[in-house]
Structure 1
Amino acid sequence: MSEREGVDEDTRRAVLDALATGPATGPELAERLGVSRAAVWKRIEALRDAGFEIRGDDGYRVTSVPAYGAAAVEFGLEAPYRVEYHDALPSTNARARELAKAGEDRVAVLADEQTGGRGRLDRGWNSPSGGIYLSVVLRPEITPREAPLLTLAAAVATTRALREAGVDAGIKWPNDVLSRETGGKLVGILTEMEGEADRVSWVVVGFGVNANVDPADLPEGATSVRAEAGDVDRRVFVQRVLEEFDALRGEPDAILDAWRELAITLGERVRVETPTGEVIGRALDVEAPGRLVVETDEDEVRVHAGDCEHLRPV
């Protein structure tokens, strides 16, 4: 089931943003939004139906926010995204692609579980209830060559959110986030796009986070936030990811510096399976727009894409 409150999405966000700053009376909200007081009341009732507790004495004031969902994530969110929430979807990336092809921009598709999740190279991605499955639709003014920077930004944003949640996480090139303590995989990121040689039409960045999930329900080699540090407030976690990602994505130099700071691949001896063969050596650096620089026995090699294996423990 999809969460739809039955009111205009932009107006819903405007009401949420207004209430997030403190109490506001019906006339104040009506004037601010350019609608009637009756329309304000309708929107307040819609939010109550979505699980918000809103008191109306001396102005409307939010006293309780639902644990999860579209409006819950939008409330207090300091990033310009509309959220579309589903209890379950085959794939948030697939739904995001539909929205992208329909012309949407800055939409975050969120689901409690996925029934057909997938990762890089069309591999399956186990997505039980309790995880965070998030796909962001963007129409950035970039070239296809620059798109990998969005994957790096997504990894940085998620790693920062994990560290705030008490998990000692680090980034493994190109798109995985692991526990530094156990080496288990916490996050996978999948970026897809459509465009022409000189410009991108749209980009979808998908985040799969093993959040409040038991490790027994995950594939071998994976771990979860629950196992590493206890359950996380998923609403707050998603907000932090979206805010960090949005702040980073327009600053290529900041993305690279932050990625290097959080990386666990740099300095490691690695084996990278690429479309043209195997590269073995020491990972030296990451360069724009996401190339891994590997020092082999013969030379420095720059790897644009591939599966990376650390040849000694992380």
Structure 2
Amino acid sequence: MTSRKAILDALASGPVSGPALAEELGVSRTAVWKQVEVLRESGFDIETTESGYRIVSVPDFCGPAVEYGLDTPYRVEYHDAIASTNARARELAKAGEDRVVVLADEQTAGRGRLDRAWNAPSGGVYLSFVLRPELAPMQAPLLTLAAAVATTRALREPGVDAGIKWPNDILLESTGEKLVGILTEMEGEADRVSWVVCGIGVNANVDSEDLPEGATSVREQVGDIDRRAFTQRVLEGFDSLRTNPDAILDGWREGAITLGQRVRVETAQGEVVGEALDIESPGRLVIETDDGTVRVHAGDCEHLRPV
């Protein structure tokens, strides 16, 4: 846990003196003072009272703001604008980092699956987890499902009609317009994962005219949301799910709009058409076709009109 996060956690319960903080954290009073000044520079209103430091207000959206009150020990690296949170997360992963979240207000060169461009204007929530999980490579797709479940649940809290389309998109259930893209990358050996980067891009407080055709935003559906609180819900939800495959699959089924649909999936082996029946670990889509049941590991999925 970073000293910044530790100080934020200590201040969350009320006024704390500098000497008490220094003793609790095992650092010098000067180190505490420096961290408090950094928090003030990032937008926190922190009073110095007779009882000690007290947080009066929290900035709307930045790394320390997301860490404040966050019920999971991720370090958040925030950028007003960045080319790609996934690209930065890969750099951190290769440098040995773990349990870091790269967060940005805007991406200038975001990419999606199959190296497709991902439009990411200011006002969104663009984040990438850096993890070093004890996981076999074949199980890594479960993290993508966990990200989809956590994000869908966070979107539904303010009333967004969000649902999961296999394998990694979150759409407006009523219209099929895209709200969220998810991209997971990893490096490892045959029997173990070295690191995983899981990127989530949410069209949050942005105008639909700034998005490509077929996409919508949270703003267009329910108005602007508190991005700080939303991001915290995503991080906490993802962290509680990521080591529980059964909970991930149950949550995915609950949030899915693909199951029960007639679908066409383009795979490396060809086209699969039929009714999507279920999902199996670590993310296989079970499809009932005219020729029998087929399990699809990866591919582009299109929802078809009923025959």
TM-score (norm 1): 0.95
Which amino acid letter does the alignment assign opposite residue 224 of structure 2? D
Aligned to 2:263: 270
Deviation at 1:181, TM superposition (A): 2.3
Taking the aligned partners of 2:82 and 2:52, their CA distance within structure 1 comes to 38
Taking the aligned partners of 2:35 and 2:202, their CA distance within structure 1 comes to 32
Which amino acid letter does the alignment assign opposite residue 54 of structure 1? I
Unaligned runs of 5+ in 2: none
1:30 counterpart = 2:19: no
Secondary structure in structure 2 of the residue aligned to 1:308: strand
1:14 maps to which of 6, 25, 33: 6
1:59 maps to which of 52, 61, 69: 52
Taking the aligned partners of 2:227 and 2:146, their CA distance within structure 1 comes to 20
1:204 counterpart = 2:197: yes
Secondary structure in structure 2 of the residue aligned to 1:60: strand
Aligned to 2:107: 114
Taking the aligned partners of 1:25 and 1:14, their CA distance within structure 2 comes to 14
1:44 counterpart = 2:42: no
Which amino acid letter does the alignment assign opposite residue 33 of structure 2? W
Aligned to 1:304: 297
Taking the aligned partners of 2:78 and 2:193, their CA distance within structure 1 comes to 26
Deviation at 1:56, TM superposition (A): 1.5
Aligned to 2:120: 127
Deviation string 1:53-112 (CA, Å, 9 cap, x unpaired) is 011112211110011111111111111210001111111000000000000000000111
Taking the aligned partners of 2:13 and 2:136, their CA distance within structure 1 comes to 38
Deviation at 1:31, TM superposition (A): 1.0
Which amino acid letter does the alignment assign opposite residue 234 of structure 1? R
1:237 maps to which of 214, 227, 230: 230
Deviation at 1:36, TM superposition (A): 2.4
Taking the aligned partners of 2:298 and 2:254, their CA distance within structure 1 comes to 21
Unaligned runs of 5+ in 1: 1-8
Write out the 4+ residue segments of structure 1 that deviate beyond 2 Å after TM superposition.
36-39
2:186 maps to which of 165, 185, 193: 193
1:225 counterpart = 2:218: yes
Taking the aligned partners of 1:158 and 1:141, their CA distance within structure 2 comes to 23
Deviation string 1:151-206 (CA, Å, 9 cap, x unpaired) is 00000000000011220111000000011122211000000000011000000000
Taking the aligned partners of 2:140 and 2:34, their CA distance within structure 1 comes to 41
Secondary structure in structure 2 of the residue aligned to 1:68: coil
Taking the aligned partners of 2:161 and 2:256, their CA distance within structure 1 comes to 12
Task: Name which of structure 1's ranges 267-276 and 9-18 shifts more when overlaid on structure 2.
Answer: 9-18
Deviation string 1:108-140 (CA, Å, 9 cap, x unpaired) is 001111111010000000010011110000000
Number of corresponding residues? 305
Deviation at 1:258, TM superposition (A): 0.6
Taking the aligned partners of 2:33 and 2:203, their CA distance within structure 1 comes to 38
1:289 counterpart = 2:301: no
Taking the aligned partners of 1:108 and 1:37, their CA distance within structure 2 comes to 28
2:91 maps to which of 65, 85, 98: 98
Deviation at 1:263, TM superposition (A): 0.4
User: Superposed, which structure 2 residues align to 1:236-255 within 5 Å?
Assistant: 236-255=229-248
Taking the aligned partners of 2:77 and 2:280, their CA distance within structure 1 comes to 34
TM-score (norm 2): 0.97
Which amino acid letter does the alignment assign opposite residue 132 of structure 1? V
RMSD: 1.0
Aligned to 1:4: none
